[in-house]
Amino acid sequence: MMQRAFQQVDVFTETPYLGNPLAVVLDGSGLSTEAMQQFTDWTNLSECTFVLPPTAEAQAAGADYRVRIFCPGRELPFAGHPTLGTCHAWLKAGGQARGEHVVQECGVGLVRIRRDGARLAFAAPPLRRSGPLDDADVAVIARGLGLSREDIVAHSWCENGPPWRGVMLRTAAQVLAVRPNAAVLAGLDVGVVGPQPTGSDTAFEVRAFFHTHETLSEDPVTGSLNAAVAQWLIGAGLAPDRYVAAQGTAMGRAGRVHIERDAGGTIWVGGASVTCISGQVTV
């Protein structure tokens, strides 16, 4: 075991403790998968990341660093708030991009990250699965959320690493009123979105429910889900090319996710990050 540089970052917020926390071990060299998973489980956070040098192939393609992303019980090929939080920590620790964007290597390949004023934003990776959900899945999700089938006005696969199933409700108020049934939703990772009233400072309210160690949890603010939802909603004409989503309200958080589709069609998912803890950990 050795001392390693460490930061705990709050993502998708400008105010500490109102976003989604992330543990970042800035030097994961020499650690086994089992050691990374053990440390992640110990932190009791939704995700922990370990920064490594890029592989030779990825470095040749422009990667600045490699990251391995873990949640309780498993490794993830991609996740949004760990991508932004890790980049924030890497830059704060002195990392410098070789090109116009920071380029992160992770399980889904190379992900570009740009500076967007005081925020960072990642280019949404391609969807691994899209299109409408099966009717049987929609019925189960409705029952698991305590809704009638008619309350779900649109739905889609939103898989870009995590296998999100997305459903859209009529209003943000309905989203906030959802009380999920863990037994009914067993094995499903579900994203719920609903439009805010006209004149609100955000366009949508988002909630994310996922399973860890066979327990249903709610994520405070979810970059991967918001990336996939943006690809779905903008592509279907259900959202404008630029909007802000709120997430975490039901948990006492105030996450803000900034979405923009640029002229080339790339969807960027951005947010602020703040460092809450900086020091050394023994891993």
Detail the DSSP E strand segments found in the chain. Answer: 3-11, 20-25, 48-52, 65-71, 74-76, 102-106, 109-116, 119-123, 152-159, 163-169, 189-195, 204-212, 215-219, 242-247, 255-261, 267-271, 273-282
Tell the burial category of 15 from Cβ atoms under 10 Å away from its Cβ (0-12, 13-18, 19+): exposed
For 100, the token pair is: 């116009």
Tell the burial category of 41 from Cβ atoms under 10 Å away from its Cβ (0-12, 13-18, 19+): middle
Tell the burial category of 116 from Cβ atoms under 10 Å away from its Cβ (0-12, 13-18, 19+): middle
* Count of CB atoms situated within 10 Å of the CB of 155: 20
Q: Same topology for domains 3-123+270-282 and 135-265, yes or no?
A: yes
Q: Which fold has domain 135-265?
A: Diaminopimelate Epimerase; Chain A, domain 1 (3.10.310)
Q: What share of the chain is helix, strand, coil (3-state, %, to 5)?
A: 25, 40, 35
CATH code reported for the domain at 3-123+270-282: 3.10.310.10
Give the model's pLDDT for residue 214.
72
- With H, G, I as helix, E, B as strand and everything else as coil, classify residue 268: strand
Domain ranges of the chain: 3-123+270-282, 135-265
| DSSP β-ladder status, 273-282 and 3-11 | antiparallel
Give the model's pLDDT for residue 118.
84
* pLDDT by residue, tens only, the chain of 283 residues: 899 999 999 999 999 999 999 999 999 999 999 999 999 999 999 999 999 999 999 999 999 999 999 998 899 999 999 999 999 999 999 999 999 999 999 999 999 999 988 899 999 999 999 999 999 999 999 999 999 999 999 999 999 988 999 999 999 999 999 999 999 999 999 999 999 999 999 999 999 999 876 789 999 999 999 999 999 999 999 999 999 999 999 999 999 999 999 999 999 999 999 999 999 999 9
Tell the burial category of 126 from Cβ atoms under 10 Å away from its Cβ (0-12, 13-18, 19+): exposed
- Global pTM value: 0.94
Give the model's pLDDT for residue 211.
81
* Dist. CA 275–CA 154, nearest whole Å: 37
Confirm if 7 and 278 have CB atoms less than 8 A apart. yes
